[in-house]
Chains A and B, each alone.
Chain A
Amino acid sequence: MTKAFLSGNEAFAEGVRLARPQVISIYPITPQTTVVERLSEMVENSSLKSELIHVESEHSALSCAIGASAMGARTFTATSSQGLLYMAECLHYASGGRFPIVMMNANRSTALPWNIYGDQRDSLSQLDCGWIQVYVEDAQESLDMALQGYHIAESPLVSTPVMVNLDGFVLTHTYETVEIPNQTDADRFLPPFQTKNKMSLDNPKNLAFSVGPDNNMEFKYLQHKAMLDSKRIIEETDKKFAEIFGRGYGGLTQGYRLEDADYILITLGSITGLCREVVDELRQNGEMVGLLKIRFLRPFPDEDLAAALGSVKAIGVLEKDISFGYEGTVYTNVNSVIAKNGLRLETYNFIAGLGGRDISRENIRAMFRHLQTGGQHVNFIGLGVSIDE
C-alpha cells in the first residue's frame, strides 16, 4: 500500500489499473478527461498492460467495450453528460447482453443551456437503462469502487454493467490523500474475469439475437432478477473488500448519526461530506438530526430505507436533479418506499446544485430547518432570484 495525493479521476484511474482490464475504450469529455489521460500514460509506461482503443465517439466507446466483453475481456470505459446520453442506445445493449462492463461517469449538467459543471441529471436520466448505478463521495471511494465495481458486475449471479458516478469537478478534479492498494491484494480481491457469456473461434455464437413477444419478457425479468440479486453481492463485496483492505462503505446505503434521529437528510455523492459536518454542528445544539447517504440507486435500497426511516418525523431528499414537471427522481423513488411500507412521516425534496451551483453550509442548515418547520414539498435551493413574480 502507498499513499498519493490524487484527484477523484486520478484515484479512479489507479483503481482501474489495479483491476487489470484487458481492453479500455476511450473518448475524452470534460470533466472525465483526466481519468483516460492517466490510463493512457499507464499503458504507455507499461504499468498497465491493456489494449487501449481511442475511438471516435462515446457511442463507439461503449460499443467497443461491448464487443470486447463479448469475447470475455474485462473492459473499461468512461464518460460524462452528453457523452453518456450519446451512449444511451448502447447502455441498453450492454445491460441486455449482460456484459459486466465498468464505466466511470463524471456527473455533469446536460445541455441546453450548455454547461460543463456538475449535477446528476445525466446519470439519473438513465436510471432505467439496466445498469447498476453507484454514487461515490470522495477520491478514496472512487478508487475502491473501481475495484468493487468489477467484483459486483462480474459475479455470475449479477452479470450486469456497473456505472460509477463521480460529481464533476467537485470530486473529479479535487485532490485528496488516497491509499493505493498493492497489486497482490488487489488480485486477491478481484480474480481474473471468467464467463460463459462469450464467443471464440472455437465456439462461434450468434450475438445479440432478437427475441419476439413469446420470450422477450422473460429476458427482461432475468435482468430485473439479476439486479435484485446484486443487492446481496454488493453487501458481500464490501465485506470482502473490508477484510482485505481494512475499509468498507456499508453496502447500498451508509447512515450517519441515525440513532434517535427525528429528521434525516438523504444525500447522494460528494455533498454528503458537508452535510455530515452540518449534522455534527446541529447535534451539538441538541437537534435530533441524521444523514443517510444513498450509494446505490440501482438496485434501489428499499429495505435499507424502510428500516432506517421507521421512526422518523421527516426526511429531506437532497439531489442535483429535477425531472421537469414533477420533482427530483431520487425523491420519487424514496417516496415509493415510504408508501409501500406505510411509513408515517413528512417528506421534502431539495433540488440543488444544478449546473454546478454551489450548495452552502447555510443551505443545508436551512434544509434541516425546513424538515422541522414543514412547508413546501419540492424546493429549489439557492435560486438567485425571486420566483414570486
Chain B
Amino acid sequence: MSKPYLRPYQKPQKLSDYPLGTASEAGYLVTKNCGWRNERPIIMDECINCLQCYLYCPDGVIFKTKSGLDIDYDFCKGCGICEKICPKQAIKMEVE
C-alpha cells in the first residue's frame, strides 16, 4: 500500500457532499497532525538504511525514497523513538 499523502480539504457545500455514515476512503488525510512537536528528527549521512526507524516509528511517518529514507514532518510528533532505536546514532533530534 502506498503512503497516504496530504490532500487539499474541500469544505462540503451541501448536505449531499457528506458521506452516508462516518466512513470514508482509508488514509484520506486532509489535515496535518504535528502541532505538538518541539524537536524534529534529522537523518544524517551515517544512515546505513537498516530500516529500524522505519519499522519502529509509531506514526509510520518514515518512508523509503530511491536514495534512502525521509521523514514526513506533516505527521511526525517528534517522539524520538527513531533516534533511540538507530544503531548508528544517525538520527539526531533538533529543537524547533
Contact A222 B15, beta carbon cutoff 8 Å: yes
Number of interface residues of A (CB under 8 A): 23
Number of interface residues of B (CB under 8 A): 13
Q: In the complex, which residues of chain B have a beta carbon less than 8 angstroms from the beta carbon of A98?
A: 20-22
Q: How far is the CA of A207 from the CA of B25 in the complex (A)?
A: 9
> Is B35 on the interface with A (CB-CB < 8 A)?
no
Any A CB within 8 A of the CB of B95: no
Provide the main secondary structure of the chain A interface.
loop
CA distance A215 to B28 in the complex (A): 16
How far apart sit A182 and B25, CA to CA, in the bound complex (Å)? 40
Q: Is the beta-carbon distance between A225 and B15 smaller than 8 angstroms?
A: yes
Nearest Cβ on chain B to A75's Cβ, whole angstroms: 14
Q: How far is the CA of A207 from the CA of B15 in the complex (A)?
A: 20
Contact of B15 with A70 in the complex, beta carbons under 8 Å:
no
Contacts of A207 in B (CB 8 A): 22-23
**Given A218-B18, A219-B18, A222-B18, are A208 and B23 neighbors across the interface (CB < 8 Å)?**
yes
A119 CB to closest chain B CB, in angstroms?
33
Asked if A196 and B20 sit within 8 Å, CB to CB, the answer is yes
A-B contact pairs, 30 of them (CB 8 A): A96-B21, A97-B21, A97-B23, A98-B20, A98-B22, A99-B21, A159-B21, A195-B20, A197-B19, A197-B20, A197-B21, A199-B23, A204-B25, A204-B26, A205-B23, A206-B23, A206-B27, A206-B28, A207-B23, A208-B22, A209-B22, A211-B22, A215-B12, A215-B18, A218-B12, A218-B15, A219-B22, A221-B15, A222-B15, A222-B18
Q: What is B's interface to A at a CB cutoff of 8 Å?
A: 12, 15, 18-28
> Using a CB–CB distance below 8 Å, which chain A residues touch chain B?
70, 96-99, 159, 195-197, 199, 204-209, 211, 215, 218-219, 221-222, 225
